[in-house]
Amino acid sequence: MRCASTAGAALVLCAATAGLLSAQDGPAQPESPRFASWDEMNLLAHGLLQLGHGLREHVERTRGQLGELERRLGACGATCQGSGASTAPPQVSENPVPSDEPATETLRNLQMQIKAQNNKIKQLFQKVAQQQRHLEKQQLKIQNLQNQVGLLAPGHLHKGLAKSARKKRLPKMAQAVAADPAWNASRLHRLPRDCQELFEEGERQSGLFQIQPQGSAPFLVNCKMDSDGGWTMIQRRQDGSVDFNQPWEAYKAGFGDPQGEFWLGLEKVHCILGDRGSHLAVQLQDWEGNSESLEFSIRLGGEDTAYSLRLTAPVAGELGVATAGIPENSSLPFSTWDQDHDLRGDLNCAKTLSGGWWFGTCGHSNLNGQYFHSVPRQRQQRKKGIFWKTWRGRYYPLKATIMLIRPMGAAAAS
């Protein structure tokens, strides 16, 4: 039996472990503790996942071979018993001892051993599957912790970006301090509320920045600066590297990597918007290289409203709410597979489709659906993907999406 995949995973795991332990080698004099980098932690988690996959494949192969052996032994046992019955003498002695009794007993023992071994393998397989699920959860926690550590030590995680941003901002802050001491007292130790406020302070470079909306702890966001203002990115899909079929708490807190695929988090978005009206920009891309940009005026409620979007007629139509006679300030709540708030009473849109979204009646849009690297043949499968019905249709899974917000009064996204 080949165990190449298991061996490869073991090598990856050993390499990661060696990297983590290397900090312990050296002189005995006291030194500052060394913490494993996120690359090392991700490498270790990846190695454990590969080891689990390889072990599961090995278990499957072993189970198949043991099953085949058991079938052969069973066939042999039936043959031996048939042979013994046909050759037995017609007379029955007082203490009959069949000639094939040792072979039959040996066969029975082998079968019992195989069954016991098979039960152990099943238990091992269940443990491997359980550990794999645990590792996937740990990987999600690592990503969330990475984002939090980025808030505490952005100079270590984003040295180049933070350094260049500080070079641009510090002279402007120094000029403002010299001109207005009162401004210094109120602004020197406060982070910008969003990317638009960062733009108004003079920043013109897109990238990762810390912001702090009113009443919120600081957190990291991806800002897109254009000639008219700053947009705060709240979602990006581009390669399928992040699983968006997450429960309510994950969509509330956020997940993924702000430099790659991510969802900022409903609570963070609500803190940024507050009670202000805002522009929501949606940028879509298909697999033929075509792109489309949409923009809506929205307001977002808090968790007590299931983070409902307050809708006007145009955005209501795009998201699947009937626009005829739509009342002022109609709202559409957010739904996930474990918290169903959509407008369909006969099914759960998040379970039927995938991901979390302001689903409406299920069939108009879902930018958090399953990512497909090519268009599936089955229509039932395609409807689980990322789609925007009024652009490419209900059953066309999109290649990439970006969602951005900016306060009212700023121009459209470029």
Q: What would the pLDDT profile of 98-140 be if each residue is shown by its tens digit?
A: 555 666 777 777 778 788 877 877 777 777 777 777 776 777 7
Which of 286-295, 322-331, 354-363 is least confident? 322-331
Mean pLDDT score, 333-362: 93
**Antiparallel, parallel or unpaired: β 309-311 and 291-300:** antiparallel
Which of 158-172, 253-267, 305-319 is least confident? 158-172
Place of tokens 């079938």: 71
Backbone angles phi, psi at 343, to 5 degrees: -90, 0
Cα–Cα nearest to 404, from 196, 246, 154, 199: 196
Structure tokens belonging to residue 37: 């980098």
> Does pLDDT of 159 surpass 90?
no
Q: Indicate yes or no: pTM above 0.75.
A: no
- Would you tell me which CATH number, out of the four given (3.90.215.10, 3.40.50.300, 2.40.160.150, 1.20.1250.20), belongs to the domain 191-407? 3.90.215.10
> Does pLDDT of 56 surpass 90?
no
Parse the chain into domains and list their residue ranges.
Answer: 1-19+39-77+118-152, 191-407
pLDDT, position 318: 63
pLDDT, position 356: 97
- Residue-wise pLDDT for 211-222, tens only, equals 999 989 999 999
- Confidence tier at 329 by pLDDT (50, 70, 90): low
- Residue-wise pLDDT for 180-200, tens only, equals 444 334 445 579 999 999 999
